Structure 1
Amino acid sequence: MTAAYWCGVFIDFIAFGIMTLQSFQLDLATVLLLHQCSFLVGALCFLYTRWQSKRGEGLGTLAIGFLSLAMSSTLAGLGERSVLSHEIWTFGTFVFGLIGYSVFWVGMRQLSSGRRRRIDWLVLVIPVVLIVVAFATRFYLVDAVRGAVSNFISFLSLAAATATVLHDRRPERLPVRVVLSCVIALSSLLALLIVVAMLTPAIAPMTPRWAFFIRIICHFAIALFVIILVKERAEAALRHAADTDMLTGVGNRRWFTSRMPKVMRADDALLLMDLDLFKQVNDRFGHDTGDQVLVSFADAISRNLNASGSFARLGGEEFAAYLPKTNALEAMKAAERLVDVVGKLEVDSNGQRVPLTVSIGVATSADAGGSWSDLLKMADAALYAAKDSGRNRAVLYDKIAA
């Protein structure tokens, strides 16, 4: 099920919630109970996903943030039922709320980037300073001021989380990132509307109770889309592993063939490469050095190949590069440049320089008749011609080479 599907489910859920709220008048205690449950369910989802996931950066931190927010909501509910004194529950809900949203931002940053950074925890300086000021001035006893400050910190934390998720979309283009950032942004906007409603209720577009109710749905949605993000990330990692040569880090044969167009276009070129006398390298220097040679070769070709090209290891010491919109003259220039690059490679084995050369067969779609298999056969024939004529060179396919 795609992120778009779950986005539709989320929108339907909001519509259902609004109709429910119109049909039934929810009192504040009920809203607080639902608010608390949304955080508890979210925390359990994060913890379970962290348990199931090999890479769960941020999930544990998100769970701590949601548990802190659940405690804040619990204290508010106990205060509403007069179980706790006004001073205790107001200060408690203020402290846990500030810490909860700050920790949530840290967790979302860890989850989004896939790494942990100690410097992110410096954000806790903000709630600590506010807690000290609140304790000294006792402004937390004023409901409007306490609520405005808490929700403004919530707005800032959620807005920062939204920016983080969108920013990290560049290196990791997962579809659910857009949906998750929209849900967090909606929750952030609702927090800001609550601030407006508490400070200037006359101009507020909705009451705090409405905003709180929609935010409850957002909390469930955040938990849902975080799980989908972890799932999509795991699937992307599996696809990458399936398409990548584990030794060199470049694409493998499966990936390379999947990148080829079904019908050859005009002026496309294929370069088939084979490291010369690679078996002798393994016999003389050992297989570890042979692996090092393959890695160095793949890295050198990748760095010197046109960005629009596709490069892969087909197996053993055989590699291939597909160059779109490249005629025969351009393909030969590129191949000859790569021959020079490989000849200058410095691979060391116990103080000895490992000599490297490469033979390259070049074929273009102009002679392939629109068939990928024919293009491959032509490049293979040109490669054998390069080896037969002395190696360490590039040969362009022609009728004689065939």
Structure 2
Amino acid sequence: MDLATVLLLHKSSFFIGALCFLYVRWQSPSSHGLGILAVAFTLQAVASTFAGLGEKHALQLSVWALSSFSLGTLGYAVFWIGMRRLSGNNNRRSLDWFALAIPAGLIVTALLTGFHLDSIWRASIFQGSSILFLGASAVTLMLDDRHEKLSARYALAAAIAVAVILSVFVVAGLMAPDTAPLHPRDAFFLLILCHFAIALFSLVFVKERVEAMLTTLLDTDALTQIRNRRWFFLTLPAAPLAGDAFIIIDIDHFKRVNDTFGHAAGDIVLASAAREMALNLRHGEIFARLGGEEFGLYLPAASNLDPQDVAERLRNAVQSLKVKVGETFIPVTISAGTAVACAGLPLHELMSRADTALYGAKSRGRNRIEAYRADAPSVLASDPRQNTRPAQTTKAGQAA
């Protein structure tokens, strides 16, 4: 395949990628980075066009060489900026634009020294800039996975990493053609396939992110911003194992809060209590709002967590809350019932036992934890390690 054909395919790959980025950006305006990536690919396409015109001797060497080199190096710098936006879904990294100082410095150096007129030097320095910015893009994608683990992220990083390796092969082929593992023209052709792969995986990455966001919205309670009933029951095992525990939690006198202070105040109390409990959870604790003022907490046996200790931790955390609505402080307490599964116990029965324990906690004064005893299912008993007396409340607390 001659160089003119390779350059035509090279240009086409960038133009197609730019159009795809613009289309998806139009369809999903919240997808940061796609517009910048479209600009980067367009710069590369125009740079390749100038190189093609130079190959056909349609332009003077000094014109097409400088134009192709300048637009190409700028394109790779802009690509890195776009990938930073895309990777972190953040459009507030204004300092990233200082990366344009690198291609600007190379362009000034080319004007002063004329190295761009030598094809070996021009191509080697151009590929060197691509290695720098493509490598930085791949690193950015991998570092951001701590905040957002999407499988397409790794595929996109891999495609960019392959492009870096091929760029190294191009430089090696130019500098040492006799010992290079791959002819520069062949490596350049494979880079075209990488451009398509980068565009493809970028779009897949955006699609996967949107789907993840929709799933999160579907599984999140709108008021409290914790997981909801749907997510909770989808996460639970089909049948509990021996030692699994279920805790059902209820905000004490919540109806009285709504009636006394209004539903807006009730929403604040509900969200505050949910947030405080969520902050006091540990790894392996499955927690969600089941509805109204009721919350569920599931502890797998493998977590080695004592349900009484966990429930008491949450009770203490909520009791220490200072919920202020206007000029009024509303005391908040919770009651909870715990139940531990034995072998063969159905999930609904485990939840029923915890609910029975919760009823016992409420009937004994609230602001307490009750455990359902598996060896005496008809009897409710407090955990002897816990205070069996309800915590003291103020008159305001009783009114709430």
Residue equivalent to 2:392: none
How far, CA to CA, are the matches of 2:352 and 2:297 in structure 1?
14
Report Cα offsets for 1:169-206 as digits up to 9, x if no partner. Answer: 22211111221111111111111111111122122111
Kindly indicate whether residue 258 of structure 2 is the aligned counterpart of residue 282 of structure 1: yes
The structure-2 alpha-carbon separation of the partners of 1:104 and 1:277, relative to structure 1 and needing over 3 Å to count, comes to same
Aligned-CA RMSD value: 1.6
Equivalenced residues, count: 376
Match of 2:347 among 346, 350, 372: 372
Q: Who is 1:9 aligned against?
A: none
Query: What amino acid is aligned across from residue 396 of structure 1 in structure 2?
Result: A
Q: Deviations over 1:212-231 (max 9, x none)?
A: 11011111111111111111
Asked whether the 8 Å contact 2:124–2:171 carries over to 1, the reply is yes
State whether residues 268 and 324 of structure 1, in contact with CA within 8 Å, keep that contact through their aligned partners in structure 2: yes
> Within the alignment, does 1:347 sit opposite 2:323 as a pair?
yes
Match of 2:223 in 1: 247
Task: Please name the residue that 1:12 is paired with.
Answer: none
Once the 2 structures are TM-superposed, how far is the Cα of residue 349 of structure 1 from its aligned partner? 1.0
2:387 pairs with 1:388:
no
Q: Is the Cα–Cα contact under 8 Å of residues 269 and 328 in structure 1 kept in the other structure?
A: no
Confirm or deny: 8 A CA contact 1:381 1:401 kept in the other structure.
Answer: no
Q: Are positions 1:72 and 2:47 aligned together? A: yes
Aligned 1:171-250 pairs, distance under 5 A: 171-250=147-226
Write out per-residue CA displacement over residues 12-39 of structure 1, whole angstroms, 9 at most, x where no aligned residue: xxxxxxxxxxxxxx11111101000000
Q: TM-score, normalised by structure 1?
A: 0.91
Q: Which residue of 2 aligns with 1:56?
A: 31
Name 1:400's counterpart in structure 2: 378
| Unpaired runs of at least 5, structure 1 | 1-25
Which amino acid counterpart does residue 242 of structure 1 have in structure 2? Answer: L
Distance across 2 between alignment mates of 1:364 and 1:233: 38
Question: How far off is 1:155 after superposition?
Answer: 0.8
Structure 2 residue identity aligned to 1:122? F
Which residue pairs with 2:3 in the alignment? 28
> What amino acid maps onto 1:173 in structure 2?
K
Q: Which runs of 4+ in 1 moved over 4 A?
A: 326-329
Per the TM alignment, residue 384 of structure 1 is displaced from its structure 2 partner at its CA by 1.0
Question: 1:362 pairs with 317, 328, 338, which one?
Answer: 338
Supply the AA of the counterpart residue of 2:256.
Answer: Q
Corresponding residue to 1:44 among 19, 23, 28? 19
The 1-side partners of 2:110 and 2:261 are apart by: 71
CA distance in 2, matches of 1:206, 1:306: 53
| Contact 2:254/2:293 (<8 A) preserved | yes
Aligned with 1:159 (options 135, 155, 158)? 135
Q: CA deviation at 1:400?
A: 3.0
Question: 1:23: which partner in 2?
Answer: none
Superposed displacement of residue 336, structure 1: 2.1
Cα distance in 2 for residues equivalent to 1:286 and 1:43:
54
Q: What is the DSSP-based 3-state SS (H/G/I as helix, E as strand, rest coil) of the residue aligned with 1:168?
A: helix
Q: Is the 8 A contact 1:267 1:327 kept in 2?
A: no
**Helix, strand or coil: the match of 2:145?**
coil
